[in-house]
Structure 1
Amino acid sequence: MTFPGLQHVAITVSDLERSTAWYSALFGTEPVLDEDEEGGRFHHAVYALGGGALFGLHTHQGRESRDRFSEERTGLDHIAFGVGSHDELERWAQKLTELGIEHDGIKKAHYGSGVSFRDPDNIALEFFAAPES
């Protein structure tokens, strides 16, 4: 049996309105879902991404920590969005620049190339392309 791929990622944000605006600009679309969870424990805004994956922004009705994200704490290190080629990676780097999102440009390694950037809560994100054959 093959292990299944990721279906969705959900992150907790400190300011849902700010993060929804930021991710809507990055993704070029609005959430497909924006509602309170049935039990009222959290509110989420959910985006549909390419390949059928979902990306959710959660707020826990004021119970979330106001600490900024750090990949040095146990838990999430970063989230990478896969792109198909180095040319596409260059286009995404340009899009980040156009949106005013700071990044360090394309970094190359033997296992692929990536552009790293951060969201308003300092959550580490990346566009990543596997090495071209």
Structure 2
Amino acid sequence: MPQLTGLARITLSVRDRDASVAFYRDVLGFKVRARRDQDGTLRTECRHQASGVLLALIQHRDNFKNRFDRRHCGLDRLTLGVANLGELEAWEERFGEMDVDHLPIVHREEGSTLLFYDPDGTELALFAPAELDEEG
């Protein structure tokens, strides 16, 4: 079977490109790499330096202006990884300081998750895997 090497790009349709760019830049640290406005779309390409994740934010000029609804087919939640629980707790503190809409960290056997929402209500999460014991 051919192999996948990882996640290459995330593309999100947004209601307000500029508000979304500000959120992903200021809250999560993405850097703007290019802006392309053509064919009825406003598009901004971003990259997160530490993780290498590429993010495209696209505002369609004929957008319905509805908030994200996970009950529709497509994206349910976008989860990004962090190294450990300490990092996750630092993010939770940052979200509180920046007034980012988020829920408390949830701890489960496989790891811990911090849910939060972008300006369109897209459910995002940060995940820290549980530390493995000697038995794995």
Confirm or deny a common fold (TM above 0.5): yes
Q: In the TM superposition, what are the counterparts of 1:54-133 in structure 2 within 5 Å?
A: 54-60=54-60, 62-133=61-132
Deviation track 1:47-97 (CA, whole Å, cap 9, x = no partner) reads 11133220111012x122211111111110011110010001011111111
**SS at structure 1 position matched to 2:71:** coil
Q: Letter of the aligned partner of 1:27 in structure 2?
A: L
Q: Letter of the aligned partner of 1:55 in structure 2?
A: L
- Identity within the alignment, %: 28
Q: CA deviation at 1:114?
A: 0.7
How many residues matched?
A: 130
Q: Which runs of 5+ in 2 are unaligned?
A: none
Between the aligned partners of 1:6 and 1:29, the Cα distance in structure 2 is 16
2:58 equivalent to 1:53: no
Task: Name the structure where helix makes up a greater proportion of residues.
Answer: 1
TM-score computed with the length of structure 1 as normaliser: 0.89
Q: Which runs of 5+ in 1 are unaligned?
A: none
Between the aligned partners of 1:14 and 1:26, the Cα distance in structure 2 is 18
Between the aligned partners of 2:47 and 2:95, the Cα distance in structure 1 is 20
Q: CA deviation at 1:3?
A: 2.1
Partner of 1:15: 16
**SS at structure 2 position matched to 1:17:** helix
TM-score computed with the length of structure 2 as normaliser: 0.87
Between the aligned partners of 2:44 and 2:108, the Cα distance in structure 1 is 34
Cα RMSD for the two superposed structures: 1.5
**Which aligned segments of 4 or more residues in structure 1 are displaced greater than 6 angstroms?**
none
**SS at structure 1 position matched to 2:27:** helix
Partner of 1:4: 5
2:20 equivalent to 1:24: no
Q: Which stretch of structure 1 is more off in the superposition, 28-37 or 86-95? A: 28-37
